[in-house]
Amino acid sequence: MTNEIENNGSGEQLSNRGHSRRDVLRLGSFATLGAILGSGIMLGGATPAFAQKVDGTTKQLASEPLNIVFAVYNGGTLLDFAGPSEVFHRLPNTNVRYASLNGGTVTLEFGVKYGHTERLADIRETDLIMVPGGSDMTEAMHPEFLAQIRRLAESAKYITSVCTGSLSLAAAGVLKGKRSACHWAFVNNLAKYGAIPVTDRFVEDDNGRFMSGGGVTSGIDFALRVAGKLKGKQSAEFTQLVIEYDPAPPFHSGHPRSAPPEVLAMVEKVLPGATKGLAHIPGIK
Amino acid sequence: MTNEIENNGSGEQLSNRGHSRRDVLRLGSFATLGAILGSGIMLGGATPAFAQKVDGTTKQLASEPLNIVFAVYNGGTLLDFAGPSEVFHRLPNTNVRYASLNGGTVTLEFGVKYGHTERLADIRETDLIMVPGGSDMTEAMHPEFLAQIRRLAESAKYITSVCTGSLSLAAAGVLKGKRSACHWAFVNNLAKYGAIPVTDRFVEDDNGRFMSGGGVTSGIDFALRVAGKLKGKQSAEFTQLVIEYDPAPPFHSGHPRSAPPEVLAMVEKVLPGATKGLAHIPGIK
| Residue B269: inside a domain | no
Check whether residue A5 and residue A22 sit in a common domain.
yes
pLDDT of residue B253: 97
Mean pLDDT over residues A30-49, rounded? 35
Pairing, β B94-100 against β B104-107: unpaired
Residues 6+ apart with CB under 8 A from A60: A51, A66, A93, A127, A230, A231
Check whether residue B36 and residue B125 sit in a common domain.
no
Interface test with B, best of A13, A25, A27 (most B CBs within 10 A): A27
| Residue B198: inside a domain | yes
Which chain B residue has the Cα nearest residue A260?
Answer: B237
More confident residue, A136 or B64: A136
What ipTM was reported for this prediction?
0.82
Pairs across A and B, CB distance < 8 A: 296
Residues of A in contact with B31 (CB under 8 A): 109-110, 135-136
User: Structure pTM?
Assistant: 0.82
Rounded to an integer, what distance in angstroms lies between the CA atom of residue B238 and that of residue B44? Answer: 10
Check whether residue A14 and residue A136 sit in a common domain.
no
Whether the predicted pLDDT of B75 surpasses 70? yes
Check whether residue A63 and residue A32 sit in a common domain.
no
Find how far residue B245's CA is from the centre of its chain: 18
Check whether residue A132 and residue A26 sit in a common domain.
no
pLDDT of residue A242: 97
Check whether residue A116 and residue A93 sit in a common domain.
yes
Check whether residue B71 and residue B130 sit in a common domain.
yes
* Of the partner residues A201, A243, A259, the one whose CB lies closest to the CB of residue B215: A243
Other C-beta atoms within 10 Å of B191: how many?
13
Q: How would you write A204-262 as a 3-class SS string? A: EEHHHCEEEECCCCHHHHHHHHHHHHHHCHHHHHHHHHHCCCCCCCCCCCCCCCCCCHH
Rounded to an integer, what distance in angstroms lies between the CA atom of residue B18 and that of residue B11? Answer: 11
Is the Cβ pair A19, B82 closer than 8 Å?
no
Whether the predicted pLDDT of A16 surpasses 80? no
Rounded to an integer, what distance in angstroms lies between the CA atom of residue B176 and that of residue B195? Answer: 5
Check whether residue B10 and residue B61 sit in a common domain.
no
Residues of A in contact with B233 (CB under 8 A): 251
Q: Is A278 on the interface with B (CB under 8 A)?
A: no
Pick left, alpha or beta for residue A217 (phi over 0 → left; psi -120 to 50 → alpha; otherwise beta): alpha
| Residue B165: inside a domain | yes
Residue B215 contacts residue B184 (beta carbons within 8 Å): yes
Check whether residue B70 and residue B158 sit in a common domain.
yes
- B285 — pLDDT class (breaks 50, 70, 90): confident
pLDDT of residue B63: 60
Q: Is B285 on the interface with A (CB under 8 A)?
A: no
Q: How far A118 CA lies from chain B's nearest CA (Å)?
A: 12
Pick left, alpha or beta for residue A214 (phi over 0 → left; psi -120 to 50 → alpha; otherwise beta): beta
Residue (of A245, A247, A221, A242) closest to A89 by Cα position: A242
Q: What is the pLDDT of residues B189-225, one digit of tens each?
A: 999 999 999 999 999 999 999 999 999 999 999 999 9
Residues of A in contact with B116 (CB under 8 A): 113
Q: Which of A17-26, A131-140, B259-268 has the lowest mean pLDDT?
A: A17-26
pLDDT of residue A130: 98
Rounded to an integer, what distance in angstroms lies between the CA atom of residue B152 and that of residue B48? Answer: 29
Q: What is the pLDDT of residues A192-218, one digit of tens each?
A: 999 999 999 999 999 999 999 999 999
Angle, helix A78-90 to helix A29-38, in steps of 10 degrees? 60
Q: What percent of chain A has pLDDT over 70?
A: 78
Q: Is B167 on the interface with A (CB under 8 A)?
A: no
Check whether residue B114 and residue B26 sit in a common domain.
no
pLDDT of residue A64: 82
Residues of B in contact with A77 (CB under 8 A): 86
| Residue A280: inside a domain | no
Residue (of B225, B218, B223, B241) closest to B30 by Cα position: B241
Interface test with B, best of A263, A269, A278, A285 (most B CBs within 10 A): A263
Whether the predicted pLDDT of A10 surpasses 50? no
| Residue A276: inside a domain | no
Whether the predicted pLDDT of B9 surpasses 60? no
Residues 6+ apart with CB under 8 A from B251: A224, A228, A233, A236, A237, A240
| Residue B218: inside a domain | yes
pLDDT of residue A72: 98
Rounded to an integer, what distance in angstroms lies between the CA atom of residue B7 and that of residue A162? Answer: 39
Whether the predicted pLDDT of B34 surpasses 90? no
pLDDT of residue A197: 98
Whether the predicted pLDDT of A140 surpasses 60? yes
More confident residue, A8 or B144: B144
- B64 — pLDDT class (breaks 50, 70, 90): confident
| Residue A265: inside a domain | no
Is the Cβ pair B254, A264 closer than 8 Å?
no
Q: Catalytic residue positions of A?
A: 163
Domain that residue B3 falls in: 1-47
pLDDT of residue A245: 98
Q: How would you write B142-158 as a 3-class SS string? A: CHHHHHHHHHHHHHCCE
Check whether residue B161 and residue B65 sit in a common domain.
yes
Q: pLDDT averaged over chain A?
A: 83
* Tally of structural domains, chain A: 2
pLDDT of residue A141: 98
- B62 — pLDDT class (breaks 50, 70, 90): low
Pairing, β B94-100 against β B66-71: parallel
Check whether residue B228 and residue B109 sit in a common domain.
yes
Beta bridge partners of B205: B210
Residues B38, B42, B47, CA angle at the centre, nearest 5°?
A: 150
Q: Catalytic residue positions of B?
A: 163
| Residue B278: inside a domain | no
Residue A145 contacts residue A74 (beta carbons within 8 Å): no
Q: Which of A30-44, A108-122, B207-221 has the lowest mean pLDDT?
A: A30-44
Whether the predicted pLDDT of A30 surpasses 60? no
